[in-house]
Amino acid sequence: MRVWVDLTNSPHVLVLRPVIDLLRADGHDVCVTARDFAQTLQLLDRFGIEHTAIGRHRGERLPDKALGLASRSAALVRWARRAAAPFDIALGHGSNDVSVASRLLRIPCSTMFDYEWAAVQHHVNCRLCQAVVVPDAIPPQRLDRYGARGKVRAYEGLKEEYYLADFEPDPAVLGQLGLDARRAIVVVRTPPEVSLYHRFANDLFASVLQRLREAAEREGVQPVVLPRTADQREQLRAVPGFVVPERAIDAQSLIAYADLVISAGGTMNREAVALGTPVYTTFEGRLGALDERLLAQGRLRKLTDASQLQLGKRTDEPAATTVARARRDPRRLVALLLAPVTA
């Protein structure tokens, strides 16, 4: 089978890496396309995943996103038509581009996501794809308005528990970043300012950064801030006491050895949950069903004021050595994604 995988954002590389590996191990011919955005291309290089870079992010305004969708989808169609042979199925994690391109090429397509309120994205993906792969925490009826009725394929748990199934943390990341394991390490992920469902104008997040700057100066806390964009990196690099990596790093190992994670997004929060690291969310958009469940279980905490933060060393051992993690078989994701051509 010839399988086309399209990746448009950094977390998608992590999610679909084991899927790509398993498909290739089973003898399928897998071709990967990727958008130049955030650390997507850097992560593909880090994992040694051969790919073709096509297109870039056009901006956060709706007209910019529409232009980006039209131009990149057209570029994907041209690329696919030049391929050595037709594709049997296309896969993406919230990639509108591949959904549009595959419909134009009459290729079956599956999409994944785990946040149900990104309405603009889902109105495209759910209507054009033949399978919508989501965690079972999301009630299927929430997706009916997007055109997903009858297409939902649900998996148990967190997607992070699937792609971290073979993961073992590497302490080398601490040395690479110049971190002292004897002092508190706090990992921070900036808000996704380019997303339509979340804006960077987040007073809470600004107060968190201020609290961390003071803790770095007075208490020896080591804040590692992971920006999403070049503009964010440029701003944060000038803050005294912050460690701001220049390129994609082994963020999962860093999270496993961290004392605390604070993130305004979703994937890094759930990686911390999966690895047993204490984590706060500063997300100010509409909560999705998955985060609602994690908050109710006490596995994720909502930060409402920077004064809540306890920035010392953890009293338990790092998750890397003590937590019995849920390691789920990524073949389950492969089966759900291939459902349009195998069911």
User: Are residues 35 and 58 in contact, defined by beta-carbon separation less than 8 angstroms?
Assistant: no
**Spatial distance between the Cα atoms of 285 and 199, rounded to a whole number of angstroms:** 9
pLDDT of the residue at 197 = 42
Mean pLDDT to the nearest integer, 199-226: 86
pLDDT of the residue at 321 = 46
* Tens-digit pLDDT profile for residues 300-323: 999 999 999 989 998 766 554 445
Rg (the chain; Cα; Å): 20
> In this structure, what token pair is assigned to residue 73?
């989808």
H or E segment and range at residue 224: strand 222-226
The residue among 81 and 191 whose pLDDT is bigger is: 81
Mean pLDDT to the nearest integer, 137-143: 97
91 pairs with which residues across the strands?
Answer: 5, 110
**Spatial distance between the Cα atoms of 20 and 204, rounded to a whole number of angstroms:** 38
SS3 64: helix
Mean pLDDT to the nearest integer, 214-233: 91
- Return phi, psi of residue 60, to 5°: -90, -20
Nearest to 265 by CA among 167, 206, 216, 194: 194
* Tens-digit pLDDT profile for residues 36-75: 998 899 999 999 999 999 998 877 677 777 888 999 999 9
pLDDT of the residue at 230 = 79
Mean pLDDT to the nearest integer, 75-93: 97
pLDDT value at 324 more than 60:
yes
**Spatial distance between the Cα atoms of 15 and 18, rounded to a whole number of angstroms:** 7
* Tens-digit pLDDT profile for residues 249-273: 999 999 999 999 999 878 999 999 9
pLDDT of the residue at 274 = 95
pLDDT value at 198 more than 50:
no
pTM: 0.90
State the chain's mean pLDDT as an integer. 91
